[in-house]
A = this chain, B = another copy of it.
């Protein structure tokens, strides 16, 4: 499956009253891939939100990736799963899910990036690039490290963490494949316009 990683949206239900609506608008604005991220909810709730978002992403022909929970990803037949360094190892996820599905891995060092590529990751999420309120425990990654990771692996790279209209242009020199955003779209007054503006700055 060929994915356009240009504008990668991570959901956060704490930032909006209507996550389905926000995701739909964001896709209308140009979001190219959606990651469902849920913490502190039951598995049933995660599954139900996932099913409902999957209908939206399917109707727009946009891939849906599930954060952390491979079982939820399987249950809703998502396009992929995204695992961090404290989630299931990429190799284990790959063995369970087979060769066809997308597996993304969060990394913050060159070593982790190289290992993830060896372990069969399809793409990397690198960050946090900037301080962010949606993940306060995230280690910061310098632009220099991002460039080194770009040089060290062949798979697509998405930068994440505090990316918005102001910070997005600082990432561009690293020549990566896309930017992941949470609050800059989800918490925006109009997620469609927010996505459109981010994509314009990213692609120009």
Seen from chain A, the residues whose Cβ lies within 8 Å of a Cβ on chain B are 42-45, 47, 68-72, 74-75, 83, 85-89, 92-93, 96
Tell me which residues across on chain B come within 8 A of A45, comparing CB atoms.
86
Beta-carbon contact of B44 and A71 below 8 Å: no
Q: Are A71 and B43 in contact (CB under 8 A)?
A: no
A sample of 19 inter-chain contacts (CB < 8 A) reads A42-B86, A43-B68, A43-B69, A43-B83, A43-B87, A43-B88, A44-B85, A44-B86, A44-B88, A47-B88, A69-B69, A70-B71, A71-B88, A71-B93, A71-B96, A74-B96, A75-B88, A75-B92, A75-B93
The 6 closest A-B pairs by CB, nearest first: A70-B71, A71-B71, A42-B86, A43-B87, A44-B86, A74-B96
B87 x A75 contact (CB < 8 A): no
The answer to whether B47 and A75 have CB atoms under 8 Å apart is no
Inter-chain contacts of A83 with B (CB < 8 A):
43
Most B CB atoms within 10 A — which of A47, A75, A83?
Answer: A75
A44 near B87 (CB under 8 angstroms)?
yes
A187 to chain B, nearest CB (A): 26
A86 to B42, CA, bound (A): 6
